Amino acid sequence: MCGIAGICRWSGAPVETDRLDQMVQSLVHRGPDGFGLYINGPVGLGHRRLSIIDPNLGQQPMKNESESVVVSFNGEIYNYKELRTELLGLGYLFYTDSDTEVVLRAYEAWGEDCQHRFNGMWAFAIWDATNRKLLLSRDRLGEKPLLYAQDGDTFLFASEAKAFFAYGYPRQLDMEQLEIYLVLGYVPAPYSFFKGIRKLEAGRYLVVTDKGIVQRSHWDFPQFSESEMRTDSVAIHEEFEYLIKDSIRLRMRSDVPFGAFLSGGLDSASIVALMGEYSSDINTFTIGFEDKAFDERELARAVSKKFGTVHHEKIVGVPSFDDALTRTLWIYDEPFGDSSAIPSAQVCAFAAQHVKMVLTGDGGDEVLSGYPSYQAEKFGQYYQNVPAVVRRVIESGVAKLASVARGTPMYQLQRILGVLKATDTSFRDRLLTKSAWIDLCYLDEIMEGKGIARPIEDYLDEVLGACNFNDPFYKLMYFQHKISLPERMLTKVDRVSMAYSIECRAPFLDHRLVEMMAGVSKDIKMPGFERKHLLRNTVGKILPKELLTAPKRGFIPPLRSWINKESISQFADKDNFGKFNLNREALSTFAQLNGEGKRDFGNFLWMVLLLINSEN
């Protein structure tokens, strides 16, 4: 993992060393082990290195002998050894053992088609001096970020937006994205929350020349015919087990100490169990909490004991509200409202004291269609067969129970009621309900006129317009792989891990596994309502039994107690409410209800406070 940045001027004006240096130094957290610049007249590439493969060599930007090809690379190519052997057979010479040089030689050999050869995560820039073009590429699933902007005749790119501001690019929020952010909690690619700054979408690449910018696709999420989804259960189980094992084998390639995050969940435990087939020296990392409702250390210990890992655990406290607010805004640059980023940062900080790289269970829920929302979609198809009058009686009963309940039971009943009512709506509207951090009926009350804000419905219509699936289960799979996985989950993981200079690798996101699972029938992935059936019936057979039956626990910061009416007054400048067209009185009322435990508005109010403080 690293940080990259660059400048390209088609006017011919030379790149200033100090401005490129400022961009690159703003990314020092992404790569504390090395630094390099390449400047040749109007073109400049910069790099900060976190060395994992061939730490003694492999410095970047890397160039070939004639300097006709120069690369600045962030990420890992896991099959670099196999590609290196193939390229040696084609007559290419190597001076390092790094995967960066494999990227360089692969481009020399295969041009833009080299992207199809890579098994990995990446964001890279290649300057092709012979053809006077700049190639920018982002990996298939979007594990690594790449942003770009145009400043007159100057083209800029970087791993994070803070590099643009270090260059001197104006920091102005794009209010067109306001409603999308207030619903989703993030701004998905190709947009950002900053005017003029764009995010390269997963599986895309740019070719930048003096004639302009051309965007192309090197990979897209496969959309198989629903009638041809695989149902050959035995073969599917065998292929799944082979691919997840091979993915882990490749992702354990490292020249520095590494380990794995280990919670009490099925995904991370499965990764740790299979890592033991390739090494007897595995470090595992678990954070615990005083609140037993969120503490999974006992389950993590059971996994560690069974597979003989060197286990590290730490009880972490809850950071102060103002510290969490300030740190989150620095890490993400733009408002990013997923509050689970706070404990994610804590486990990254802890593991970084011992290792430079970890394997994680990220992506398991998406690849295996394992979220409860998939159960809800299957349930909805059955529920619609219940007579309408019976459905109304059920919903009325749940609503009455929710009105008298308090605390966690109230929140659970409110969610159940939302699922029941949503079965009568379109898939798009159900997706909105699932994705939003607040009931959409409150948005008009919160936003005092939407101004130029783009309606969330228009955005989702655009996304789903490219989806060929008809079954809601597969539509949800499409949305999660195309949008929420790269733009929420993987953005969170990349930024918090890089903030603490530690690399995270996700075996579930091997593109071979993703492509295979995209073509598997929902009845194989989830027979009845059993989540993660394939994992439970392969790797799950060797896991501790108590883990397979344990309820999933997640740690969410205490937003219900953190945010109340006083929080809005203390942490939100009243002048900023008008700037964002937000109703201060309505938000104060929501905060009071949240603090009193009558409604769960915690994460939404956290999002609002990040937004209001984002220009401070």
pLDDT in tens, 279-323: 989 999 999 887 777 778 999 999 999 999 999 999 887 777 888
Nearest-angstrom CA–CA distance, 123 and 3: 9
Cα torsion through 296, 302, 303, 307, rounded to 10: 160
Question: How many percent of the chain have pLDDT more than 70?
Answer: 96
pLDDT, tens only, 149-167:
999 999 999 999 999 999 9
**Average pLDDT of the segment spanning 113-121:** 98
pLDDT at 14 over 70: yes
1-5, 56-60, 515-519, 591-595, range with greatest mean pLDDT: 515-519
**Average pLDDT of the segment spanning 85-92:** 98
Nearest-angstrom CA–CA distance, 162 and 23: 8
User: Which residues fall within 8 angstroms of residue 355, CB to CB, at 6 or more apart?
Assistant: 256, 257, 258, 259, 283, 502
Cβ-count burial of 494 within 10 angstroms (0-12 exposed, 13-18 middle, 19+ buried)? buried
Nearest-angstrom CA–CA distance, 142 and 479: 14
pLDDT at 493 over 70: yes
DSSP code, position 7: E
Q: Residue ranges of the alpha helices (H) in 308-442?
A: 321-332, 341-351, 364-367, 372-383, 388-404, 407-422, 427-435
Cα torsion through 582, 606, 611, 491, rounded to 10: -140
With cut-offs at 50, 70 and 90, classify the pLDDT of residue 591: confident
pLDDT, tens only, 164-180:
999 999 999 999 999 99
pLDDT at 262 over 70: yes
**Average pLDDT of the segment spanning 504-520:** 98
pLDDT for position 321: 80
Among 99, 130, 129, CA closest to 114: 99
Nearest-angstrom CA–CA distance, 55 and 33: 9
**Radius of gyration in angstroms for the set of CA atoms belonging to the chain, rounded to a whole number:** 24
Nearest-angstrom CA–CA distance, 237 and 524: 9
User: Which residues fall within 8 angstroms of residue 344, CB to CB, at 6 or more apart?
Assistant: 492, 493, 496
Higher pLDDT, 88 or 560: 88
Instruction: For residue 585, give the 3-state DSSP assignment.
Output: helix
pLDDT, tens only, 311-361:
999 988 777 788 888 999 999 999 999 999 999 999 999 999 999 999 999
Q: In whole numbers, what is the pLDDT of the chain averaged over residues?
A: 92
User: What angle is formed at CA 75 by the lines to CA 74 and CA 81, rounded to 5 degrees?
Assistant: 120
Direct distance between the N- and C-terminal alpha carbons of the chain, in angstroms, rounded to an integer: 29
Instruction: For residue 206, give the 3-state DSSP assignment.
Output: strand
Q: How many CB atoms lie within 10 A of CB 57?
A: 14
Nearest-angstrom CA–CA distance, 266 and 210: 51
Token representation of residue 245: 């094992």
Q: In this structure, are strands 310-315 and 283-288 parallel, antiparallel, or unpaired?
A: parallel
pLDDT for position 355: 97
DSSP code, position 455: P
Query: To which residue do tokens 């219509």 refer?
Result: 461
pLDDT for position 441: 84
pLDDT for position 565: 63
Nearest-angstrom CA–CA distance, 488 and 480: 10
> What are the distances in angstroms from CA 427 to CA 181, 376, 582?
20, 12, 29
pLDDT for position 392: 86
pLDDT, tens only, 544-583:
999 888 877 666 666 766 776 666 666 666 677 878 888 8
User: What angle is formed at CA 106 by the lines to CA 101 and CA 110, rounded to 5 degrees?
Assistant: 160
pLDDT at 224 over 90: yes
pLDDT for position 554: 63
Q: Check residue 599 and give left, alpha or beta (phi > 0: left; psi -120 to 50: alpha).
A: beta
Q: 463-493 burial by CB neighbour count: b if 16+ within 10 A, else e?
A: ebeebebeebbbbbbbbbbbbbbbbbbbbbb
With cut-offs at 50, 70 and 90, classify the pLDDT of residue 597: confident
pLDDT at 267 over 80: yes
Q: 432-454 burial by CB neighbour count: b if 16+ within 10 A, else e?
A: bbbbbbbeeebeeebbeeeeebb
Nearest-angstrom CA–CA distance, 467 and 478: 7
pLDDT at 368 over 70: yes
Cβ-count burial of 592 within 10 angstroms (0-12 exposed, 13-18 middle, 19+ buried)? middle
Active site residues: 2
Long-range contacts of 123-126 (CB under 8 A, 24+ apart): 123/4, 123/74, 123/75, 123/159, 123/200, 124/4, 124/71, 124/72, 124/73, 124/74, 124/75, 125/4, 125/6, 125/45, 125/71, 125/72, 125/73, 125/157, 126/69, 126/70, 126/71
240-249, 542-551, 589-598, range with greatest mean pLDDT: 240-249
pLDDT at 449 over 80: no
pLDDT at 189 over 90: yes
Phi, psi of 80 (to 5 degrees): -65, -30
User: What angle is formed at CA 340 by the lines to CA 183 and CA 558, rounded to 5 degrees?
Assistant: 95
Q: Write out the DSSP string of 44-80.
A: EEEEEE---SSTTS--SSEE-TTSSEEEEEEEEETTH
- Helix 584-595 and helix 602-612: axis angle, to 10°? 140
pLDDT for position 574: 65
pLDDT for position 391: 83
- Length, in residues, of the chain: 616
pLDDT at 458 over 90: yes
User: Which residues fall within 8 angstroms of residue 584, CB to CB, at 6 or more apart?
Assistant: 568, 572, 574, 577
pLDDT at 249 over 70: yes
pLDDT at 410 over 90: no
Nearest-angstrom CA–CA distance, 109 and 90: 8
> What are the distances in angstroms from CA 326 to CA 303, 329, 609?
35, 5, 11
Cα torsion through 419, 423, 426, 428, rounded to 10: 20
Nearest-angstrom CA–CA distance, 172 and 48: 26
Domains, the chain, in order of start with CATH, read 2-217 (3.60.20.10), 226-369+474-549 (3.40.50.620), 558-616 (no CATH)
pLDDT for position 45: 98
Higher pLDDT, 204 or 402: 204
